[in-house]
Every structure is written in structure tokens, then in C-alpha cells.
């Protein structure tokens, strides 16, 4: 497997190519724990966590622990790691029996964490792995780590306060390829209000629908 292009995207050249190959190998290819990425993922998850925590403490010096914790969760979550790996084109290099699996957020996240560990083990310096994290996460640390508003809870509270029926959510359809689906969800409040939201997950589609409902009800600005 020629990984030169991937190494350029990662910004790191491996001395031990077997470590890189291991970080890219799904357990469906081999159950040998020294040849698939599962152990590397375990280690990389810890390196990612401590690096992000350090970055947050240095960036937001006056924020309380609760706010830092919310930002931390956003930056180390499956969707964030997967988004960064997708942007680096890592999917093209993942080795798995089922090709569609390599596009799943869970797998991309696992591989991302495994790559962090592989860089650490290959370089022999945790600082090198942390530099990799800083290089690819810094752009997300402010905007993407802001705690997202819970529009579903807000809608629930507003309808209760106005003595309206509780919001009801219903999935309308699922479109797009299996590895990148789009869900459309409808929310209704009695027979007076209705809105439709869409996103890559049902949970986020519900949030989108709730936000649009709140706009329709005049609770928030569009």
C-alpha cells in the first residue's frame, strides 16, 4: 500500500510503515491485535484527550470547568474526529473487508485515534503526536467547540409554558448513499405548527426541525 500521499496530508512521515498500516487496518481484516488498529485506538484516545484538555486550558484561560468540559466533549467526539479524518482523505487508505465500512464515522474516529498513537510510537515522542493533534484540531477549537443549543429541550419547555401539546417527531425519509445518509424528520405541535429538519443523523435532524419550529413560533430569530 502506497501511503506517501496520506503521509503528506497528515504532515508526518513514518519510519516504521507497519505502524501506519496497522493504524489503517480494521479488525475485519485480521483478529490479530498486533495487526489491527484496536490497541492503537485505545492509546490514541488518551493522547487526544490530554492534548485537547491542555489546548482548551491554554486557549480559554477564564472559562470555568463546566464550559471547558462542554468544549472538550465536542472536540473529542466521534463526529469531530471523523470529520477531520474525512477531510484528510483517510477513508481511501483504510483496509477493511466491507468497503462501505471505511466511510462510517465510528471507523473514521477509531482510525484517527489509532493514527495519533502510531505517530507517537513511531516518533518516540508524545510531543510529536500532540503536534499532529494541534495542527489538525486548532481550526476547530473555537467555532466547533462552542456548546450547541439544545433546541429540542427549548421547544419542549416553550410548548409546556404556552400550554400547547408536546412536540411529536416523525422520520419522513432517508436519502443518500448508505455511508452518507440524510434523514428528514417532521415535528408537529398539535395541528397548529409543523416543521421539517434534515441532517446526517436522526438526532441532529430532530434538532434542526425543533430549531425551525422555534423560528416559526417566533421564539428565536431565523
The catalytic position among 110, 113, 208, 211 is 113
Alpha-carbon gap, residue 7 to 20, rounded angstroms: 9
Task: Examine the residue annotation and report whether 180 is marked as an active-site residue of this protein.
Answer: no
Cell numbers describing residue 111: 482510525
> Which of 189, 183, 220, 221 lies closest to 204, judged by CA?
183
* Terminal Cα-to-Cα distance of the chain (whole angstroms): 49
Cell numbers describing residue 156: 419542549
Alpha-carbon gap, residue 129 to 168, rounded angstroms: 46
The catalytic position among 41, 45, 206, 211 is 45
Question: Which residue is associated with the grid cell 465510528?
Answer: 106
Alpha-carbon gap, residue 222 to 151, rounded angstroms: 13
Task: Examine the residue annotation and report whether 92 is marked as an active-site residue of this protein.
Answer: no
Longest alpha-carbon distance in the chain: 65
Question: Which residue is associated with the grid cell 425551525?
Answer: 212
Q: What angle do CA 73, 74, 75 make, to 5 degrees?
A: 95
Phi, psi of 175 (to 5 degrees): -125, 175
The catalytic site residues sit at 45, 113
Amino acid at each position: 500500500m502506497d501511503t506517501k500521499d496520506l503521509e503528506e496530508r497528515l504532515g508526518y512521515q513514518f519510519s516504521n510503515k507497519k505502524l501506519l498500516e496497522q493504524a489503517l487496518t480494521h479488525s475485519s481484516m485480521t483478529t490479530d491485535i498486533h495487526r489491527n488498529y484496536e490497541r492503537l485506538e485505545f492509546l490514541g484516545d488518551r493522547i487526544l484527550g490530554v492534548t485537547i484538555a491542555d489546548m482548551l486550558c491554554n486557549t480559554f484561560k477564564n472559562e470555568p470547568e463546566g464550559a471547558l468540559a462542554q468544549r472538550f466533549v465536542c472536540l473529542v467526539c466521534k463526529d469531530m474526529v471523523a470529520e477531520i479524518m474525512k477531510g484528510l482523505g483517510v477513508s481511501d487508505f483504510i483496509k477493511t473487508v466491507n468497503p462501505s465500512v471505511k466511510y462510517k464515522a465510528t471507523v473514521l474516529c477509531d482510525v484517527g485515534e489509532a493514527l495519533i498513537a502510531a505517530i507517537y510510537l513511531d516518533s518516540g515522542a508524545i510531543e510529536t503526536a500532540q503536534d499532529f493533534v494541534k495542527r489538525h484540531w486548532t481550526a476547530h477549537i473555537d467555532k466547533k467547540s462552542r456548546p450547541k443549543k439544545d433546541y429540542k429541550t427549548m421547544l419542549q419547555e416553550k410548548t409546556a409554558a404556552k400550554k400547547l401539546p408536546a412536540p411529536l417527531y416523525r422520520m419522513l425519509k432517508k436519502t443518500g448513499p448508505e455511508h452518507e445518509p440524510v434523514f428528514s424528520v417532521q415535528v408537529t405541535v398539535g395541528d397548529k405548527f409543523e416543521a421539517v429538519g434534515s441532517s446526517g443523523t436522526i438526532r441532529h435532524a430532530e434538532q434542526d426541525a425543533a430549531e425551525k419550529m422555534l423560528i416559526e413560533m417566533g421564539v428565536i430569530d431565523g
